[in-house]
Structures are given as C-alpha cells and as structure tokens.
Chains A and B, each alone.
Chain A
C-alpha cells in the first residue's frame, strides 16, 4: 500500500491528488477537478473537466452557466469510475443537496475527503454515510467545543414564537441561498407552518431546482410579486444575508431581523450581523458531531482541512488518532 501522504499535496490551488491527477474543490480553474458540493467556495467555474454528483453539476450550471466546464462527468452516489491511476466514487455527506464525500482508492489505500458535512437531521439531502478508510480528511468549520448546535425544530420554533408575539411585524430571515434557505422552509413546513413563505429574488432559482429534485417546499412567493408590501406584516420573508441591512429590506414593514446560521451561537457574530433574532442552524457538524464522526469512521489517520484546525487536531490526537492540519486557505468561514 502506498500511503496517501505520498500522493496528496497541497498548493495555492488547494488539495491535489497525484494519483488521479485531479484537484479537489480547487480555488482556481484547473484541468481536472473533483467538486464535493455546490457552495461557491468549493465549486468554481472554468475547469477543464469536472467530476461531481448530478445535483452539484446542476447547481454549477445554474450558477455559472451550461458551459462552466468543458467536460462534465456526473457521478451518482456509489457509482465508481477510474480516473488517472485510481478510482473515485461519491458517498452522501449530508451537507446540502448533492453534497458528497469523495472516496479515492489507489494502490490499496483509501482516502475519504468528506468535503463539508453534517450529521444532524436534514430532509433536504441524503444523510452522511460512514465509510471506513485509511485517511479521513475532515473540515473543522465548527471545530471548537463551544459549538453545540441545538435541534433545528427548537430554533425554528423561536421564529414562530416571535411571530406569535409580534404578529404585526415582518420577520426577515437571513439565509444562505443554497441549502440553508430550503432547509429552513422545510423545517417551517414540518412544524405546521402552511402560509406562503416570501423570498428575495436571489433565492428563487435554487428553490425551484430543489423542487425539481423532489424536495417539496410548499408555496413560495417572490417579494417582487407582492403588490402591497404592507401586507407582509406578520409574514416570513427570506433573504440572502447581504440584503438584511441593505436598502432592499427598508421597504418591508416594521422588520424584525433574524439570521439563520451556525455562527449565531456566538453573540458577537450575531451582533456583527445586526441580527435581533439569532437562529442557530448549521449545515456543518458541531463539535460533538465531529468527534462522533471520527470515532465512527475510525480511520488510520485524520487530516483537517479548514476551520478551527488546531483544536480538532489536538482532540483527535487525544482520542489516539494520528492527526494533522492541512491548513488550506480560501474556504470562507462565513460564505455558506
């Protein structure tokens, strides 16, 4: 067996797999890219050849156009393909629709790049699957023991409780367009909220894409199509975070600003976002989930890519694993 440390390198483009002659989630256009999911800091336009799940490929086409890459290889979960001197297949990561762990086999060694992933309940995508391997590459976005994300129902109930308390105020919720938005809508539906959910235009395309892939979101209305904006008093409006304190939101009646993100657990982060109603919903693992995953995957070695690497490496070593940080730059904490 040839240890993955001999065929994985990091450079300014990101993580490079020599065995497959491919980059994983590269920051720059490259000849061959494996893309784990559709968030903008992982999926970029302009690669020669892209390997991704059909959902991720569709997201990239929506965001970057049909011709975002010269050659687009769609690979359903579990489907294996030979690339370079190795073999690649995808396994669900539970992060957003289409998100995948890239499993790379080469010379009797197996490397799992988990991409971004989570373990908590999310009906908008397939749940994370544990895959035994020699080296497990994990993110550490919320890799500190202060991060314990509450159950999503509890958080969405905060929004519903506020709506009951202030039935005359418009509840504006900041959500990332891809994943968070659809997850919040679905959580509202599961809690019995059947009124239309209003949306900023920037969120609509991805919602209809989710619906095409079978995720039922109920009635969604574009704020642009609302004739009398005063009628949004007492309604839920979703918008991208950048629109929360923007001119756009000033036209809404008597707004309470909420923000749905894993970062909302940290008070100062909520303040930085000017969120009056922080809703802690994360599409990444919290600390207990990260530890649970390492324990269940039980790899020979743990490599940590981006986020709070130092703490997770320390903890993995304490748990008896060989662990190191890959210190990749460019993946943004706040992006999605």
Chain B
C-alpha cells in the first residue's frame, strides 16, 4: 500500500508525460503480480468495490467531524478523498480501538501497511461490517497522502492526470522496453497501443495474463469467444476554416473530368444522429449493448436485445441508439426517458421503444473488419443487412430495430454547407449535425487525427442572468466556477440550467471575483449573487424537465459570452426559451 500511495502521489504532481511514463514503468518493473495489476486497474478505473464506496467514506467522516465543518471543508477543497484525508482524526496512540480484535488490518503504526492486493481482496470479499472496520483501522494509521490514495481506490477513477488511453500507451512502451531485454521476444512482433486496446476489455484485473504477454512470457490473451466491448473510434470537431482544404483533396483525382458526383470521393457524409453512441456485440455466446465508454448497458434495453436473434446476427456493430416509433426516429427528449433506467418497466418500453442506426461494423460473422477501409466496411455492412433482410421480416419486425445510416450525396463544399444548413433547420430533434468520415480510413480505437469529423449544427443561444455560484472541483477547486442562471417570467428570474464551461481561465478569475463581491447570501456551499450579470448561454437543445423551477432544462449548456455590458432586465424571457423546444 505504501508503494501504491507513493506512486499515485508522484504521478499526481508530475506534469511531464515522459516523466509520468518513466515513473509508472519503474513501478511495473519493481512491483510483483498481482499488486501491479491492481494498481493498473485502479488507475484505469476498472476496479470496483460493492461495499467500499464514496457513501461509506462520507458516513464515516461525518461521524467523526462536525457536519457543518465537513461541508465547508469539502466545498473548499473540492474533492472528497482529499477532504477526508486531511480531516480524518488521528487517534491517540495509547487508546486502543474499540474493535481491535475483530479487524483484519488493526495494527501498530510502525508496522508496514498491508499490500495493495491484500487490501483489494479484503475489500472485495468481506462483509459490510468488516469492510467498514478495516477501513477505519487503515485510515487511523495512515498519513494524509496514504489516506488519499486509499479513498481514491474506493471512489473509482483516480483522476490523477493519467487517462486510460495514456495508460495503454505506457503499457505498450513497457512491452517494447521489456522486449529489448528479453531474448525470446525477439521473434515476436512489437506490441502496439492498438494491440493493447483490442484486448483490454477482454482481460480482467489483476491482469496477470496481460503482463505475461507484455513481458514476452506468454501469448496474447485470447478474447475472441468473449462478449467484449471494443474501443470505439471517435471524431474531432470540424475546423470550418480548414474545410475547403480538407475537401479539395477529395476532388484531386486522376480520373478524367466529368460530372462531379461521379468522381471518387475521399469523404463520406452522414447525418449526425442525436441519440447515444452504442456498440452492439452479438456472437454464439451471447449479446450485449455497450456505451461508448465500455459500460454494459444491456439491462436498460432488454427490448432491443430480445428482438435480436443471435442465430442471425453475429458481429460487433457501431451505431446510435435512438427512440423509434413505428419506424420513425424520435427526438432525443423521447430517448432521454429511457436513459439511466436500470430496470425499465414494460410500460416505459412500450411507450418509448428504441432502435439502432448502424453506421459501422468492427466484426461481421467472426470476420475482423477493423483493418479494412471505411468504404469496404460500409459495403460489407450494407451487404450483410440486405442479406439478413428476410430474417428481420420473418422475425415479424415490421420496422426493423437495426437500420442503416445512409451516406449523404454531395459533390462540392457548397452542397455540404447546404446539408449542414438542412441540419440546422431539421425537425424532429434527432439530427444534431453532420459527420464527415475519410473513406479510406481503418477503424482505429480512440480519436485518430484526420479521420472522422463532427460538424455540429449551430448552437442555440439565450441571454440568462447568473443567480447562484458554487465552487468548482479538481483543477478549479476553490474558484467559483459552477453557475446557475435563469430567465425572466414577469419580474421573477427562474433557473433554467447550470454551466461550468465555455470561459477562459482569465474570465473564470473575473467571474470569481465578481461573485465574491456581489454575494447576497449563502446556502451551504451555494452563493446567491446579485441578479446583475448576463451570460450568453449556448446550448444544443431545450426540453421540459422538473429539475429546475422554470420547468425547462438545457442540453450541454455552456457560457458563450459574458455580457458585462448588458443590463439584467434585458435578458431573455422564459417564453422565448420555451418556444425553442423541439417536440
């Protein structure tokens, strides 16, 4: 546990990626299995405890510290683990703990702490009571830094400035360096970050088989029979200024001049559907639906999965989950009612049925398509869909739940702009812009450069007045960076949303100062401010919601501009916002 705490602490304070990589590789070299695997799981956020959770930590601390002081401290520090690490009272050494005999980790301060794997195993296999007691004993003897590392284990995701992607890069580097010092590795091919991405979701902590492979002591873990999420390919926002240049390449071909649309196109355009990105995995061993981050969300959509016949459908499909009714795609607002429902009721499912629009395939019938070009993958997907058409019909699906995304025709930048203009005015609330994909690109996990672009439609804008402010977390800890704002209904401001982003660091400091000087009152961590400052708020869409008093809520609200110049009375009316709802 000491080594792990030190690792986490070092990684947190190191800013250069080179140095972070060196620190982690050093740890992997000097730490035996299974400790190092658990550490990797903790950093990657794949470690989960049923009984050791944030809530438990909070319960324990408020038993020990005045709740008012705890709230104020948490508000200031901006992070639960660190707040508790500092606040946890160190017991007098002479006082033996009341549950001394029962707990596994009760010990004297001079003795070393249990190893990381002992801690993990204990927290995974003990009763609620045991977990609680061991946690108390550990926190009692630990330094604040060790407490911080321990509590972070239980709150999933360390947030120490080391992304999952970067972690895999470091693992690849670790493998490459191991290969240099390892004789039998010589003949094998070099392990790349892409290789690691592809097995990652099929291996489990503490990753013994993964490390054996990385160190050249065993073959690549075989995950082909598993129902496993494959990391998805993501897009970049389009840079409109670079668009002409990007597309110019598309028409520079050797083919003779002719009708523009007949020329080979380097880019494929599709609607960007406004649902949630999902991956459908089906093979003879089962079927599952994953979110784009790899969370298994099958339980939320049993209706979709039950309508897929695993004897007919086999593969890994990339697409958008959407609300669909009688073959018609519905607005995101409709889909939203289905999200985050662990066990949807029959009523909910029949009122808000869902379907999937497929736009890519990673595997079809056991064949790995990821090294093929997008053009070839799409052809394969369409051929497969055509082939299965009869089956879908037989399954008595009048409106198949699996549909295809169609490529949009365009032969010039002007036509592409027209399509986006169409997206701007699209009814139905399920199109949020355009996707542009390079037709010759492989399917690459992560966000490769120059491959996929999203060209979102214009954001909607509204002028709202800041009403409340709260301190931020993490990097913005102690700054007032979370703002609630509202629109007018007669003479009253009603809150419509909250935003944390869209401003620069310099603007953040300005607003923070403004908040401090214009505070009217305080409700716990929330400051009420004078109703004098107007934000131009950008958002993707607005829908009815009970979350705010106004009865409306915004999607992806962000601060577009700070209107220091605009009098609050001239901010928008609630009715204006209401008229922007898309049914």
Q: Which residue of A lies closest to B12 (CB)?
A: A267
Of chain A, the residue at the smallest CB distance from B473 is A268
Q: Is A195 an interface residue (CB 8 A)?
A: no
Known interface pairs A266-B478, A329-B517; A146-B13 also in contact (CB < 8 Å): no
B12 proximity list for chain A (CB < 8 A): 267, 271
**10 other A-B residue contacts (CB within 8 Å) besides A144-B69, A267-B12, A269-B478:** A144-B73, A144-B76, A266-B477, A267-B148, A268-B77, A268-B475, A271-B475, A276-B13, A310-B522, A318-B66
Contact in complex: A145, B517 (CB < 8 Å):
no
- The verdict on B470 contacting chain A, using a C-beta distance below 8 Å, is no
Residue B78 lies at the interface, judged by CB distance under 8 Å to chain A: yes
A130 to B83, CA, bound (A): 31
Select the residue from A145, A276, A329, A333 with max chain B CB neighbours within 10 A.
A145
Q: Is the CB–CB distance between B13 and A277 below 8 Å?
A: yes
* B86→A148 contact, CB < 8 A: yes
Q: Which residues of B contact A311 (CB under 8 A)?
A: 68-69, 72-73
Q: Which residues 126-169 of A have a CB within 8 angstroms of B?
A: 144-148
Asked if A268 and B66 make an inter-chain contact with CB atoms under 8 angstroms apart, the answer reads: no
Residues of chain A within 8 A (CB-CB) of B77 are: 146, 266, 268
- Chain B residues near A266 (CB, 8 Å)? 76-77, 82, 477-478
Which B residues are in CB contact (< 8 Å) with A276? 13-15
Interface hits, A301-326 → B, CB 8 Å: 308, 310-311, 314-315, 318
Interfacial residues, chain B to chain A (CB-CB below 8 A): 12-15, 65-66, 68-69, 72-73, 76-79, 82-83, 86-87, 148, 474-478, 516-517, 522
Q: Is the CB of B78 within 8 A of A308?
A: no
Please give the distance in Å from B531's CB to the nearest CB on chain A: 19
Q: Which residues of chain B have C-beta atoms less than 8 A from A147's C-beta?
A: 86
Contacts of B517 in A (CB 8 A): 329
Residue of B nearest to A144 (CB): B73
Given contacts A145-B87, A310-B522, A329-B516, contact A272 B475 (CB under 8 A): yes
A-B contact pairs, 19 of them (CB 8 A): A145-B65, A145-B66, A146-B77, A147-B86, A266-B478, A267-B12, A268-B77, A268-B78, A268-B79, A268-B475, A268-B477, A276-B14, A277-B13, A278-B13, A310-B72, A311-B68, A314-B66, A314-B68, A333-B478
Q: Are A314's CB and B69's CB within 8 A?
A: yes
Task: List, in ascending order, chain A residues with CB within 8 A of B66's CB.
Answer: 145, 314-315, 318
Cα distance, A314 to B522, chains bound together (Å): 14
Q: How far is the CB of B462 from chain A (nearest CB, A)?
A: 31
- 1/0 per residue A257-278: CB within 8 Å of B? 0000000011111111011111
Q: Report B-chain residues with C-beta under 8 Å of the C-beta of A144.
A: 69, 72-73, 76
Pick from B76, B83, B475: contact of A308, CB below 8 A.
B76
Do B475 and A145 touch across chains, with their CB atoms under 8 A apart? no
Give how many A residues have a beta carbon under 8 Å from the other chain's beta carbons. Answer: 26
Q: How far is the CB of A246 from chain B (nearest CB, A)?
A: 16
Other-chain residue from B13, B68, B148 in contact with A270 (beta carbon distance below 8 A): B13
- Closest Cβ neighbor of B81 among chain A residues: A267
A88-127 interface with B by 8 A CB criterion: none
| A318 partner residues in chain B, CB cutoff 8 A | 66
Q: A268-B477, A271-B475, A277-B13 are in contact. Are A145 and B82 (CB under 8 A)?
A: no
Q: Which of A148, A268, A274, A315 contacts B474 (CB 8 A)?
A: A268
Assembly CA distance A318 to B475 (angstroms)? 33
Among A145, A274, A277, A333, which residue has its beta carbon within 8 angstroms of that of B73? Answer: A145
Tell me how far the C-beta of B84 lies from the nearest C-beta in chain A, rounded to whole angstroms.
Answer: 9
* Minimum-distance CB pairs A-B, first 4: A268-B477, A146-B86, A311-B72, A146-B73
Q: Closest residue of chain A to B89, judged by CB?
A: A145
Please name all residues of chain B whose beta carbon is closer than 8 Å to the beta carbon of A270 when the two chains form the complex. 13
Once the chains are docked, how many angstroms separate the CA of A271 from the CA of B161? 10
- Decide: A267 near B82, CB < 8 A? Known: A146-B87, A272-B475, A274-B15: yes
Question: Which residues does chain A contribute within 8 Å of B86, judged by CB atoms?
Answer: 145-148, 265
A315 to B14, CA, bound (A): 37
User: Distance in Å from the Cβ of A282 to the closest Cβ of chain B?
Assistant: 14
Chain B nearest CB from A217 CB (Å) reads 29
For A146, list chain B residues within 8 Å (CB).
73, 76-77, 82-83, 86-87
Kindly list chain B residues whose C-beta atoms are within 8 Å of the C-beta of A310: 72, 522
- Please, which residues of chain B bring their CB within 8 A of the CB of A277? 13
Within the complex, what minimum Cβ distance (angstroms) separates B20 from chain A?
A: 11
Give the distance in Å from the alpha carbon of A276 to the alpha carbon of B78 in the complex.
20
Cα separation A278 to B9 with both chains bound (whole Å): 11
Contacts of A272 in B (CB 8 A): 475, 477
Cβ contacts under 8 Å, A278 to chain B: 13
Shortest C-beta distance, A316 to chain B (Å), equals: 12
CB distance from B315 to the nearest CB of A (A): 44
- Enumerate chain B residues within 8 angstroms of A267, measured Cβ to Cβ: 12, 79, 82, 148
Contact with B along A19-35 (1 / 0, CB 8 A): 00000000000000000
B68, B86, B87, B476: which has the most chain A beta carbons within 10 Å?
Answer: B86
- A150, closest chain B residue (CB): B144
Which one of A268, A269, A308 lies within 8 Å of B72 (CB-CB)? A308
Inside 8 A of A275's CB, which chain B residues have their CB?
Answer: 13
Which residues of the partner chain B approach A265 to less than 8 Å between Cβ atoms? 86
> Which A residues are in CB contact (< 8 Å) with B15?
274, 276
* Cα-based distance from A329 to B516 in the complex (angstroms): 8
Question: Which residues of the partner chain A approach B148 to less than 8 Å between Cβ atoms?
Answer: 267
Q: How far is the CA of A278 from the CA of B82 in the complex (A)?
A: 15
The distance in angstroms between the C-alpha atoms of A267 and B159, with both chains bound, is 12
* Closest Cβ–Cβ distance, residue A284 to chain B (whole Å): 15
Across the two chains, which residue of chain A brings its CB closest to B76?
Answer: A144
